[in-house]
Amino acid sequence: MRAHSSSLMSTSLLFLSLLAALPAFAGTPINESRQLDARGRVEISNVKGRIQVRAWDKPEVKITGTLGDGVERLRVEGDSENLSVVVEYPQNNWGGGKAGPTDLQLMVPLRAELDISSVAADVDVEGVASGELSIDAVSGSVKAVGAPRSADINSVSGSLDLVLNSADVEAQTVSGDLKLRGRLNGDVSAETVSGGIEIAVNNERLRELSANTVSGSIRVNTGLAQRGEIRMETVSGDVLLILPKNLSAQVRGETFSGDLRATGVTIEKRRGPGASFQTRYGSGEGDVRIETFSGSAEVRLE
């Protein structure tokens, strides 16, 4: 009797441990591999679940993970230059309907170009050094860490958390927060509607920066290249622009009802509504302009 109980308990424990070992995405396992040129292009599309991409030093794409319940199939097609990996839903069910989430995990050549589309799937890309990195999501969040030459990353309500060593970056959301950090030295464009924008440039100087929002706040810490340009606009969001003390730029700020502050500058109120300032730091080679309606703006040199 005791032996029977012990056996039952062992079986139960084994069953429980097996349950615990199951991945969050139950469904059909995926295990596919395709050859891809070192600088080939991979298009990846998954409506919900997760898209995880990691890089390796092989001319090959390996796809693993699990296909969600109710998903029609994983379509993998193309050649060694262009590969397409698409999670397909029945009857052109773009929104995924009641199908379960698909967990898509890819290993791609280090320098492969990536074009990733998601609706509610979270996107997680790490280690790529492609020519171009392109990500488009709706409610899924995007996390990208890498060194693509240029990146174009959009979400609607999902947040963007980007750590990029890139020349050019374009990033947009509607309500999602946008965080961008890294060694950035070219043109950066960041735009949200209500999401906050936070940009921190490490040990580099931007050539051009455009940061715009309606009601989100903007915080930028960057160096500015010779004759570089910065444009920042908000309606009600606050702006904080931190630049190095050796900045060489003409700086102008204007607001209708917000407060303005700038290092070393006394802001004079106009006779009517609004305030503005114009000043020169260093020899004034660059050009910085900030405009808000009711948001406050500060230019800080440190």
Partner 1 sequence: MNQNDESLRWKLRGLRQDQPPKRDLWPDISARIAALPPRQAEEPVQRLSGVRRFAPWAMAASLVLTVGLAWQATRVAPQDPVIPREAASLTRDYQGALAQMQGAEAHPEFGVALQELDRSAAQIRAAIEHDPNATFLLERLRRTYAKRLALTQRAVMS
**Footprint on this chain of partner 1 (rule: CB under 8 A):** 43, 45, 84, 86, 94-95, 115, 117-120, 134, 136, 138-139, 156-157, 174-175, 191, 193-194, 212, 214-215, 233, 235-236, 256-257, 273-274, 291, 293-294
Least Cβ distance, residue 231 to partner 1 (angstroms): 9
Torsion of CA 125, 126, 130, 136, to 10 degrees: 20
Least Cβ distance, residue 153 to partner 1 (angstroms): 12
The total of other beta-carbon atoms located within 10 Å of residue 279's CB is 18
The whole-angstrom separation of Cα 129 and Cα 150 is 10
Q: 110 vs 214, which CB is nearer to partner 1?
A: 214
3-class state of residue 196 by DSSP: coil
Tokens of 156: 């609607």
In the beta sheet, which residues pair with residue 224? 206
Q: 42 vs 201, which CB is nearer to partner 1?
A: 42
Closest CA to 83 of 49, 126, 112, 51: 112
Q: 165 vs 210, which CB is nearer to partner 1?
A: 210
The whole-angstrom separation of Cα 283 and Cα 53 is 45
Q: 117 vs 279, which CB is nearer to partner 1?
A: 117
Least Cβ distance, residue 115 to partner 1 (angstroms): 6
Rounded (to 5) percent helix, strand, coil in the chain? 10, 55, 35
Least Cβ distance, residue 78 to partner 1 (angstroms): 11
Least Cβ distance, residue 160 to partner 1 (angstroms): 14
Q: 78 vs 244, which CB is nearer to partner 1?
A: 78
